Amino acid sequence: MQAYEGYLDNGQFIPIGKPVTFPSKRRVILTVFDEPVEDKSVHAEAWHEFLSAIKNIKDEPVPEFERIKLREIEI
């Protein structure tokens, strides 16, 4: 027995993750939950815009400052 997670869209099962194929003439149990599925395409689009903006940043690297040695003294 195997379980597949997904959601229904216009009567079609959309799996979450990689696509799946179902064998023919198998007994199935379909459970429909009362909770709606969050539209993740909005988040994916926002992440794509964010990562594209980061790639387009043309900042100069921060210069390395001269290193100095500090020592503690008692006052």
> What pLDDT does residue 6 have?
87
Examine residue 64 and state whether it is found in any structural domain, yes or no: no
Rounded CA-CA distance 16/39 in Å is: 12
Examine residue 62 and state whether it is found in any structural domain, yes or no: no
Range 2-8 average pLDDT: 86
Examine residue 74 and state whether it is found in any structural domain, yes or no: no
CB 5 within 8 A of CB 16: yes
In the chain, the number of structural domains is 1
Containing structural domain, residue 17: 6-55
Examine residue 46 and state whether it is found in any structural domain, yes or no: yes
The pLDDT tens digits of the residues spanning 32-63 come to: 888 887 766 667 888 888 999 988 888 887 88
Examine residue 65 and state whether it is found in any structural domain, yes or no: no
Examine residue 75 and state whether it is found in any structural domain, yes or no: no
What does pTM read for this prediction? 0.41
